[in-house]
Amino acid sequence: MALYEMSSENALSPIPLTSFSSMGVYERTHLQKALRAQISAITPGVDTMVLAEEFGDWVGANRRIDLLCLDKDRKLVVVELKREDGASMELQAIRYAAMISAMRFEQAVEAHRKYLTSIGSTTDPERAIRDFLELDDGERVELDEEVRIVLAAATFGTELSTTVLWLNKQGLDLRCVQMRPHLLDGRLLLDVQQVIPLPEAAHYQVAIREKEAQQAVARSSERNMTKYNLSIDGRTFANLAGRRVIYEIIAEALRQGVKVDAISGALPWKGDSTFLSAPGLLSEAQLLERTGNPGSGYFSQDNMLLQAEGCTLAVSKRWGDQVMDAISSIVDLLPAANVSVELSSPTSEPEVVAYDGFEIMQDQSTTITITKNGVACTPTIRVLRDLAAKLGVEVTNGAGKDMNTRQLGAKVMEAVRAQPA
């Protein structure tokens, strides 16, 4: 896009685009020196410090990283610069990232020591890194094995852009930052923009990668063929897959005004990957383009998209063996809950245990009911908490949140079965 100057008469005048080479600007002598002093210009949204310049301390290699950096997440950052077209620079940067991925904290300190010496600084390198990471003296430091890559150039061709997009989908973290020089009254202005990924989509793409990594382990259990009958306020849905049941209940929760963050928070094992989300009223194509996600793990069809809090949402399809936990957790959020879920064709008798005069029953759909002397005890969760206290059972999950009825019921039944005969 063009850069314009707006006059006091509201007239727009284009500021001419120039080139670094025609202005006598060189990568190492000028660009690299300027960016090392203002690294935030090409790392938007990520707090970053420069560790080393022209780093090449590895055996059997005569190539050097333009700028080696560190971010707040203890990830090393390879920064490669080109003053004009960035063709093929991604391949070089990946090689560098592989070479430094095993760098230890002590090696990072030594690299930073050499850099500080080269620029005439007497700052203590270890103290500087610890201050940046907000770590105390003596606290053990391990660098993250994942290495980020930032490519900065005046232009990026289609071949490089396509490659970077594909590599990001495979789990790498590559960013392309475009630096376009403009000439105004003898002054050189830089228009610096992150173009891949777009800054507003970066958060969602990171969440997508994390989701896919977590779910890769559980894919063998995701093909759950169990079918359920669902009823919501008199509306019935017969013979639904578990993931579709979750979709319908989430849709009902949003209709009743439950916040998106509350739903994600009630599903700690899913978190942000519960939804594929982007601001605005979007179509499927627009949502997938905005988030950079192929949509295969979400209900992303146009007729399945949900709207809430100014965003378009696609609900996850992947729930593994936690379908009923998810259903129960979301139902617990509903201000007005009139929801029932049952197997479309139950295959076994309900399980029953007795304790302290109560009978605790879990049916095939994992629904918990409690009776005493043949009379139903409600609310079920309150009775379960009383029994849990007597049995020494924790009532919170690993995330520190109160268990729902199904989760706590299963724990209480397990504790009863473990009691001496």
Q: How far apart are CA 361 and CA 375, in angstroms?
A: 13
Is the model's pLDDT at 31 over the cut of 50? yes
Model pLDDT, residue 135:
81
DSSP 373: T
pLDDT digits (tens, 9 = 90+) for 162-184: 888 888 888 889 999 998 888 88
| Secondary-structure breakdown of the chain: helix, strand, coil percentages, each rounded to the nearest 5 | 35, 25, 40
pLDDT digits (tens, 9 = 90+) for 375-389: 888 788 889 999 999
pLDDT digits (tens, 9 = 90+) for 229-259: 888 888 888 888 889 999 999 999 999 999 9
Helices 323-331 & 242-255 angle (0-180, nearest 10)? 10
Is the model's pLDDT at 366 over the cut of 70? no
Model pLDDT, residue 249:
94
Q: How far apart are CA 389 and CA 226, in angstroms?
A: 34
The CA distances from residue 321 to 124, 312, 327, in Å, are 52, 27, 12
DSSP 108: H
Helix, coil or strand: residue 37 = helix
pLDDT tier for residue 293 given thresholds of 50, 70 and 90: confident
Is the model's pLDDT at 401 over the cut of 80? no
Is the model's pLDDT at 61 over the cut of 70? no
Average pLDDT value for the chain:
84
pLDDT digits (tens, 9 = 90+) for 226-237: 788 888 888 888
Model pLDDT, residue 115:
93
pLDDT digits (tens, 9 = 90+) for 104-128: 999 999 999 999 999 999 999 999 9
pLDDT tier for residue 62 given thresholds of 50, 70 and 90: low
Residue that wins the pLDDT comparison between 187 and 404: 187
